Amino acid sequence: MIPPHPDDSFTLSQPKYSDSTQLITYANRFGKDLSELASLMTELRDAFDGVHILPFFTPFDGADAGFDPSDHTSVDPRLGSWDDVKKISQDFSVMADMIVNHMSYKSAQFQDVVEKGQGSPYADMFLTLSSVFPEGASEQDLAAIYRPRPGLPFTHYKWGEQTRLVWTTFTPQQIDVDMRSEGGRRYIASILSAMAAGGVSQVRLDAVGYSVKTAGSSCFMTPQTYEFIGELTEQARALGMSVLVEIHSHYKNQIQVAQKVDSVYDFALPPLVLHALYTGQVGPLTKWLKVRPTNAITVLDTHDGIGIVDVGPDQQSGEAGLLSAEAVDGLVEGIHEASKGASRKATGWNASNLDIYQVNCTFFDACGADEDAYFLARAVQAFTPGVCQVYYAGLLAAPCDLELLAQTGVGRDINRPYYSAAQVREELRSPVVRRILGLLQLRKSHPAFKGKCQVRSYEQDSRLVLTWENKDDWAELVADFAEKKAEVTYN
């Protein structure tokens, strides 16, 4: 029985989106290619309105699983063609990634610069230390640069007959593009045109928070970055596409960015749900539900790790987060414990991707492989306003892939398993996956979710109640974080 007097109560509205639910997947890990993905999506039409296809450009298997394209305008022929993408777009909305910060060192453009230096027509496309700091950089300038990995973001590369310090925010194989240069602008325009022609209706701006470097700043989410995001959004909208911004940062940055674009990720939701599961405390999750932007893509897992920086104190200003630094430390240890140490093997210094803001683990294992706790987490996601986007490994309740991690040594691969089409179909029949599919079908089809949501939290009882109402239709979730059980009812 729900107590009569909640500690907090408020009402949220569902924004007007064409999609209610989306799948996010690689083209070669949920089936072998775009053709098999199209067939599987047809079988999942009752659960999903759309699909976010992770990088399928040339090559899809570079140094960062496709996030380092050498040709961002072509579909890797091993996966299919733009015709395959268009086929999927006939029945589902299609989202694709626009990697705006960098491109592969193997790209024809950068290799031309390596060979010809300033004599290359592409020399202005790529950032170096001196192109941002023409008068030189002081120790203070360099220390102020925010980077998601240890060390400075520069790599020695040949530049014709010279050697330059080229800006590489993520890995030495990913060369940062100068988005303010004429070459950078032409590059951006070519990608947007190719996507629009290929049936893409939503563009995800990957790593856009790092895309504008300004001397004397952190080079991350600066006023110039916000200006650039606004310009990109207008360009995409002019071609009939909406924009999703991907930023791992302090929660107030998400609120600010949401005002300028069509949608943002709700990266704070996953760690807050886990925090509530581990501690029984629903206060931080309730606080976030009250202030979060509603034009959000709700996620519990993605192709990256579980974000931590999104709920902790601001790493630059020290401003308080949704969780204290001590609570964040406890959350990280909680994930390691729930996954029986698997996440510890894939995170930080134990893996080759040293992201300072993520823990690498499947969300199913982060829930202790407890099917009831996992269903509770997915139910909170489905009942939270926005577009409910489910990662393919999460849909299939995948455990941590320690075998793949051992093969590659890449921490994120623990949450990037490979499934043949036959294996997907087999997993879709498992009881836990069938429960998740039923939840997604409810979220996609029930008219209550087009109305308003009342949120009630009961801190003493560790319960959160979300009730959707739309005229005579209603759907309700009672999430009991102490018992790790969820009850979903509807008319």
CA 243 to mean position of chain CA atoms: 13
Cα distance between residue 448 and residue 433, in whole Å: 23
Q: Which residues are annotated as a binding site for substrate?
A: 64, 102, 204-206, 246, 303-304, 355-358, 412
Determine whether 337 is an active site residue.
no
pLDDT tens for each residue of 66-111: 899 999 999 999 999 999 999 999 999 999 999 999 999 999 999 9
Q: Which pLDDT score, from 0 to 100, does residue 356 have?
A: 57
Q: Please give the Cα distance from 368 to 298 (Å, whole number).
A: 21
Binding residues: 64, 102, 204-206, 246, 303-304, 355-358, 412
Percentage of the chain lying above the pLDDT 70 cut? 98
Active site residue 84: no
- Average pLDDT of the residues in 208-229: 93
Catalytic pick from 76, 84, 178, 206? 206
- Domain 18-100+178-448 belongs in CATH node 3.20.20.80: yes
User: What is the CATH number that goes with domain 108-176?
Assistant: 3.90.400.10
Q: Which string of DSSP letters, residue by residue, matches 441-491?
A: HHHHH-GGGGSEEEEEEETTTTEEEEEEEETTEEEEEEEETTTTEEEEEE-
Of 255, 290, 248, 253, give the one whose Cα is nearest residue 271: 248
Contacts of 404 (CB under 8 A, 6+ apart): 413, 414, 416, 417, 418
Q: Give the pLDDT confidence score for residue 249 in this predicted structure.
A: 85
Q: What's the predicted TM-score (pTM) here?
A: 0.94
Averaged pLDDT for residues 243-250? 88
Instruction: Look at residue 331 and tell me whether its pLDDT is greater than 70.
Output: yes
- So where are the chain's domains? 18-100+178-448, 108-176
Cβ-proximal residues to 199 (8 Å cutoff; 6+ apart), any chain: 82, 85, 86, 88, 89, 90, 94
Residue with token string 């999430």: 479
Residue 430 banded pLDDT, cuts 50, 70, 90: very high
Residue 352 has pLDDT above 50, yes or no: no
Query: What is the C-alpha to C-alpha distance for residues 168 and 176, in angstroms, rounded to an integer?
Result: 6
Instruction: Given the residues 176, 178, 246, 476, select the one marked as catalytic.
Output: 246
Q: Does residue 303 have a pLDDT over 60? A: yes
Phi and psi at residue 219, in whole multiples of 5°?
60, 25
- List the beta bridge partners of residue 21: 388
Fold identical between 18-100+178-448 and 108-176? no
